[in-house]
């Protein structure tokens, strides 16, 4: 009997030792848990400014995984009055906020919370408890602030006029009436579109004199041309484009045959105008015009803008407020400037190359590089390409290019950095 019991005990002991041997000792692994990480947001910038007085502040962030990240966003007026704002944003990488002209705001963003259950360790061995071998990453509010500042300004139109190609049917052959509208403000006074009654086209023209250049060391964040849509001729939608045009015209003398030329199908910016006659809702319309505005905001001069339907063979007619129609709703340029950095974009063309071939990288600013230029530091995640260590955007220019030579098959990521602003782009190198 005693021999039998010892055999059973020996079997259970051997089995128990085998099971324990298949599981790592938890006491050797628990120390890897709860790793706190100071995660930064990247590329904090102002990307849009519109009427009625809204600014969009955006940033980039790569979540650690697991829980949804949260951010703390502060807007603090630092000169010129205004009110502060503090919000918590969940899984949202931008904030649309109000502003007052002439007030300088500081925008601050940091990671309030993020959580990842692991740091990418290999799968646990059989029988192991993942909670005992996987590090826990947290961003719990101790992350550093990323800060920019921004001031909003406006330039009101001085000359604004419409031109109409309608025909005078008193003649046997269609003849341009070539009417000069002067200060007339029918339905707002400005218009854009096409109407087949008989065939006619309407376009509008605006002048914006920039008399006060940006302060030293300040750069344009974003800009828009804004006009107030008073109504449309009928219910429906119309796509209206805006583009830079000549300023060699006067409000009193402009008519169809003297109007600056423009390309309706190739605007710099577009907006969709919608109208419901049963529920009319006049509203501001905005054309994002940052690149065109930058040079004038930096150095002065008068910006000329033309508004036209993008399809001048399709019925649709929209009216906008002329400065004579309403001083409150007169057309204007709104723009935001500040620092300490200006938005930068990294582009790679083509996105896939073979080993030994060359792609072109382009770093592009939304403003002109200041005196001395902007030195952009370049690096890669991966050894599949050769690139220069830096590239300089010359003073007065907005972009510079550099070669990217494929050396090994893979998926490298190119990293560009200038004055604390980062931009990345991925590509492929095939064998």
Residue 60 has pLDDT above 90, yes or no: no
pLDDT of 5 = 32
122-170 pLDDT per residue, tens: 555 666 665 554 556 677 667 778 888 999 999 999 999 999 987 766 6
Under DSSP, the state recorded for 327 is S
pLDDT of 43 = 79
pLDDT of 239 = 98
Tell me the percentage of the chain whose pLDDT exceeds 90: 58
Question: Which whole-number Å values give the CA distances from 9 to 19, 152, 417, in the listed order?
Answer: 15, 83, 68
> Do 190 and 239 belong to one domain?
yes
257 located within any domain: yes
Q: Residue 318: pLDDT band by 50, 70, 90 thresholds?
A: very high
Asked which of 291, 307, 339 is the last residue of a domain, the reply is: 339
> Do 188 and 99 belong to one domain?
no
- Nearest alpha carbon to residue 227 among 192, 277, 196: 192
418 located within any domain: yes
Number of other CB atoms surrounding residue 127 within 10 Å:
11
* Alpha carbon distance 243, 223 (integer Å): 14
Question: In sequence order, what E strands does 213-312 have?
Answer: 219-232, 236-244, 269-275, 283-288, 301-309
62 located within any domain: yes
> Do 418 and 391 belong to one domain?
yes
Whose tokens are 């030195």? That residue is 375
Residue 28 has pLDDT above 70, yes or no: no
Q: Give me the DSSP letters along 115-149.
A: EES-SSPPPPPTT--HHHHS--EEE-S-SPPEEEE
Q: Residue 268: pLDDT band by 50, 70, 90 thresholds?
A: very high
**Domain range for 242:** 157-339
Asked which of 281, 306, 339 is the last residue of a domain, the reply is: 339
8 located within any domain: no
pTM confidence score: 0.72
- Top-ranked range on mean pLDDT: pick from 361-365, 388-392, 394-398: 388-392
pLDDT of 40 = 78
Under DSSP, the state recorded for 152 is E
9 located within any domain: no
Question: Which whole-number Å values give the CA distances from 274 to 209, 288, 315, 331, in the listed order?
Answer: 30, 18, 14, 18
> Do 199 and 335 belong to one domain?
yes
What are the beta bridge partners of residue 244? 305
Q: Is residue 163 packed enough to be buried (19+ CB in 10 Å), middle (13-18) or exposed (0-12)?
A: buried
pLDDT of 1 = 36
Residues 6 or more apart whose CB falls under 8 angstroms from that of 7 comprise none
Residue 106 has pLDDT above 70, yes or no: yes
> Do 127 and 147 belong to one domain?
yes
What does the pLDDT average to over 229-255? 97
- H or E segment and range at residue 162: strand 160-164
pLDDT of 17 = 33
- Apex 348 CA angle, 351 and 49, nearest 5: 125
Domain count, the chain: 3
Tell me the percentage of the chain whose pLDDT exceeds 70: 81
Per the prediction, the chain carries an average pLDDT of: 84
Alpha-helical runs (H) found in 286-415: 290-299
- Nearest alpha carbon to residue 395 among 196, 228, 219: 219
pLDDT of 405 = 97
Q: Are the CB atoms for 348 and 414 separated by under 8 Å?
A: yes
Asked which of 102, 125, 152 is the last residue of a domain, the reply is: 152
> Do 88 and 168 belong to one domain?
no
Residue 299 has pLDDT above 80, yes or no: yes
Residue 192 has pLDDT above 90, yes or no: yes
Three-state DSSP class for residue 80: coil
> Do 116 and 177 belong to one domain?
no
> Do 224 and 287 belong to one domain?
yes
What are the beta bridge partners of residue 397? none
- H or E segment and range at residue 404: strand 399-406
> Do 288 and 388 belong to one domain?
no
> Do 110 and 235 belong to one domain?
no
CATH code, domain with 409: 2.60.40.10
């Amino acid at each position: 009997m005693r021999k039998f019991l010892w055999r059973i005990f020996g079997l259970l002991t051997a089995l128990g030792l085998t099971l324990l041997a298949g599981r790592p000792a938890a006491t050797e692994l628990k120390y890897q848990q709860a790793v706190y990480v100071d995660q930064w947001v990247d590329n904090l910038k102002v990307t849009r400014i519109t009427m009625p007085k809204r600014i969009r502040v955006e940033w980039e962030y790569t979540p650690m995984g697991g829980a949804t990240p949260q951010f703390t966003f502060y807007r603090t007026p630092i000169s010129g009055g205004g009110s502060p704002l503090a919000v918590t944003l969940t899984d949202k990488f931008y904030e649309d906020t109000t502003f007052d002209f002439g007030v300088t705001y500081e925008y601050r963003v940091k990671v309030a919370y993020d959580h990842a259950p692991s740091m990418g360790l290999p799968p646990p061995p059989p029988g192991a408890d993942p909670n005992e071998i996987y590090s826990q990453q947290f961003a719990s509010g101790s992350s550093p602030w990323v800060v920019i500042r921004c001031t909003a300004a406006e330039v009101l139109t001085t000359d604004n006029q419409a031109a109409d190609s309608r025909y005078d049917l008193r003649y046997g052959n269609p003849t341009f009436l070539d009417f000069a509208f002067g200060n007339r403000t029918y339905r707002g006074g400005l218009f854009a579109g096409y109407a087949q009654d008989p065939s006619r086209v309407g376009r509008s023209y605006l002048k914006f004199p920039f008399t006060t250049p940006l302060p030293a060391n300040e750069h344009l964040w974003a800009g828009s041309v804004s006009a107030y849509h008073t109504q449309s001729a009928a219910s429906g939608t119309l796509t209206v484009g805006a583009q830079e045009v000549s300023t060699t015209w006067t409000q009193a003398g402009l008519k169809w045959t003297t109007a600056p030329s423009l390309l309706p199908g190739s605007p710099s910016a577009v907006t969709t105008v919608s109208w419901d006659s049963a529920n009319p809702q006049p509203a501001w319309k905005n054309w994002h015009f940052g690149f065109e505005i930058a040079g004038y905001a930096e150095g002065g001069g008068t910006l000329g803008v033309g508004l036209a339907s993008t399809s001048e063979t399709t019925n649709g007619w929209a009216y906008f407020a002329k400065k004579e129609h309403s001083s409150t709703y007169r057309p204007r340029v709104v723009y935001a400037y500040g620092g300490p950095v200006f938005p930068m974009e990294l582009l790679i063309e083509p996105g896939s190359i073979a080993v030994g071939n060359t792609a072109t990288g382009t770093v592009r600013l939304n403003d002109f590089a200041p005196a001395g230029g902007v030195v952009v530091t370049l690096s890669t995640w991966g050894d599949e390409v050769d690139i220069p260590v830096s590239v300089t955007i010359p003073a007065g220019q907005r972009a510079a290019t550099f070669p990217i030579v494929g050396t090994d098959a893979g998926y490298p990521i190119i990293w560009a950095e200038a004055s604390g602003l980062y931009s990345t782009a991925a590509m492929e190198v095939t064998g």
